[in-house]
Amino acid sequence: MLTKRIIPCLDVDNGRVVKGVSFVNLRDAGDPAELARFYDKEGADELVFLDITASSDNRDTMVDVVRDVSAEVFIPLTVGGGIRQIADVRKMLEAGADKVSLNTAALQDPNVIKEASEFFGSQCIVVAIDAKRNSDIYMSLQEQNVTGWEELKVDLNTGWVVYTHGGRSPAGVDAVKWAQKVAELGAGEILLTSMDSDGHESGYDLELLSLVSSSVSIPVIASGGAGSLEHLQQAIEVGKADAVLAASIFHFGTFSIGDAKTYLANQNIAIRPLGK
């Protein structure tokens, strides 16, 4: 049976892993390759590296990171952040990434999804969707006067709004409609982050998750809000996620990947057993 994937996400700034990775046994908790090895050994099913480097001058450091990690770790590797064009996608794939995640660039020009998936194959094109419940954004949308997105326009009574630029700008686009659109354009997977839940460790946005997951025929990775192992279970069982991504619960050592797998297996969720 196809197993549900557990994916630790690492933020990388100027080639170094940042945002509180606190393991006792690591010589260098900022070294992406060492962390990748650690999580591989723990049984992670896949790794996501998110480049949060602010300056575009330093973007190439991420290529080196991908090259180092892929030389040592033989599990799938997704890279996101700062991917602007086809050339960036190519650079990351050549360095050893298996999938590249597009966010802002896809909203600026959705054809990037189509071009990239036709050229490199859908299997390596992930679209990251950062979504926020609409309640407090009505005004900002009015101000922005977003045009050209009639078919994707958010329903202000029910919808979730997609944000770009690391969650700073509302795009005026409905998350569910956008998910359907990216699937149609050839994306192979959706990485769905709830901005409302992210960082609160009080659980994923299950309503958003199940709505998106049941609206598309491609796999959906749940992101944002994991604080307990039960949350992972809910994302899979209620949210219908195909994979669960988490950062802090793993980085701070609250739970190991092994803990998560044992827990999910005990709930009769298909997972890849450790050491196999």
Q: Catalytic site residue 11?
A: yes
Q: Catalytic site residue 51?
A: no
Q: Which of 50, 164, 79 is nearest to 88 (CA)?
A: 79
Residue from 14, 85, 122, 180 touching another protein (CB under 8 A): that is 122
Q: Should residue 34 be labelled a site residue for another protein when binding is judged by CB under 8 A?
A: no
One of 11, 13, 51, 242 is an active-site residue; which one?
11
* Furthest CA-CA distance within the chain: 54
Question: In this complex, which beta carbon is closest to another protein, that of residue 199 or of residue 273?
Answer: 273
Q: Should residue 214 be labelled a site residue for another protein when binding is judged by CB under 8 A?
A: no
Q: Should residue 71 be labelled a site residue for another protein when binding is judged by CB under 8 A?
A: yes
Binding residues with another protein: total (CB under 8 A): 37
In this structure, are residues 83 and 92 in contact, taking their beta carbons and an 8 Å threshold?
A: yes
Q: Should residue 261 be labelled a site residue for another protein when binding is judged by CB under 8 A?
A: no
What contacts 266, CB < 8 A, 6 or more positions away?
none
In this structure, are residues 5 and 75 in contact, taking their beta carbons and an 8 Å threshold?
A: no
Give, in order, the Cα–Cα distances in Å from 257 to each of 47, 229, 251.
12, 10, 10
Question: In this complex, which beta carbon is closest to another protein, that of residue 20 or of residue 121?
Answer: 121
Q: Is the dihedral of CA 213, 104, 46, 131 positive or negative?
A: negative
Question: In this complex, which beta carbon is closest to another protein, that of residue 156 or of residue 270?
Answer: 270
Gap between the Cα atoms of 213 and 247, Å rounded:
21
Q: Should residue 124 be labelled a site residue for another protein when binding is judged by CB under 8 A?
A: yes
Residues of this chain that bind another protein (CB under 8 A) = 1-5, 40, 45, 67, 70-72, 74-76, 93-98, 118-124, 188-189, 217-219, 242-243, 272-273, 276
